Amino acid sequence: MSDASAPGKTTAVVAYITIVGCLIAITMNIEEKNEYARFHIRQAFGIHVLFHALAILMTYAGYAYLAVPVYLFYFVIWIFGFLQALNGSMKPLPLAGKYFQKWFTFIS
């Protein structure tokens, strides 16, 4: 990754730091519209939304015993995405990454 895309890299990394960081990254990318940042914002937003949706579903369905596997899954895909952002790669997350790019097109 060149120095020209450093602002996009910073925004991409911020997106992975909780759902609040993702919202901050969306606002950081409003004016510049960096493609690299947009890719990672969509990936991170998908990770965070998926985790929260699973947590809510498990809570109301009474599957609290699945909390540990869900947290592990969340942590593994979060690490994968975060490392991709740090390394300058635009590789989608396994399984859901391509869908996140399609579903979250409102993030531009």
**Per-residue pLDDT tens for 15-71?**
999 889 999 999 988 888 889 999 999 999 999 998 889 888 888 888 878 888 888
- pTM over 0.75, yes/no: yes
Cβ-Cβ contacts under 8 Å for 51 (sequence gap 6 or more): 70, 74
Residue 108 belongs to some domain of the structure: no
In a domain, 55, yes or no: yes
Q: How far apart are CA 13 and CA 10, in angstroms?
A: 5
Structural domain contains residue 97: yes
> For the chain, what is the domain count?
1
* Per-residue model confidence (pLDDT) at position 4: 43
Residue 96 located in a structural domain = yes
Q: Which domain holds residue 70?
A: 3-103
